[in-house]
Amino acid sequence: MNEWLWGLGGVAVGVVLVHGLGYLTALARWFKRRCSCLGATFTLTPAETTALIAMLNRALADEWFAFYQYWIGAHVVAGSLAMSVIAELREHAEQEFEHAGLLVERIKQLGGTPLLDPAEWAIVSNCGYLAPRDYDSKPVLEQNVQGEICAISSYTSLLEFLNGRHAVTAGDVTFILAQEEEHKRDLQGLLTKLGK
């Protein structure tokens, strides 16, 4: 048991060094919610569970598109504040990748199958993919703000569908939604610096 606690402490220090104390605090809140919800009663009907899995798969497609949009944007962006924009886009890409992993685990735990074929992403996605056409910082940031607005709307709809049921899924969706809202604020902050 002591070795496990020491290992957990090492992970916590690593997270603080890589992501900062705020990220560790958010992660601790998420973990606390998740652990306190493990005994929650699953109150969705089989039809609702099927619908939830479909909604989570749509969100998964959105996360893959968001990951790629941030990742490719970080590689092509140029212009004012390019280095700050690149750093922000890379951080967001990493978090979108983590969201995708979280959604895959949730889908599997609900008895579903996550999307296996990237060709399905465009078919089921809520938000789609906006390929960068202008590589200047401002249009790249504006495009990503549009994506975040759509993601926030999608995760809000998921929470409305759950309506307080299935606390584990609601906790995961709430965690992702909070990060999407933070992404939007970060991007808007950079746009303000650019003099939008």
CA pair distance 43, 126, nearest whole angstrom: 25
Per-residue pLDDT 10s for the chain (196 aa) are 444 334 444 445 454 555 666 665 666 555 555 444 444 445 789 999 999 999 999 999 999 999 999 999 999 999 989 999 999 999 999 999 999 999 999 999 999 999 999 999 999 999 999 899 999 999 999 999 999 999 999 999 999 999 988 899 999 999 999 999 999 999 999 999 998 5
- List domains and CATH numbers for the chain: 1-38 (no CATH), 44-194 (1.20.1260.10)
Token couple for 150: 């759509």
Query: What's the CA gap between 44 and 48, in Å, rounded?
Result: 6
Question: Whole-prediction pTM value?
Answer: 0.78
- Only one residue has tokens 């919610």, namely 33
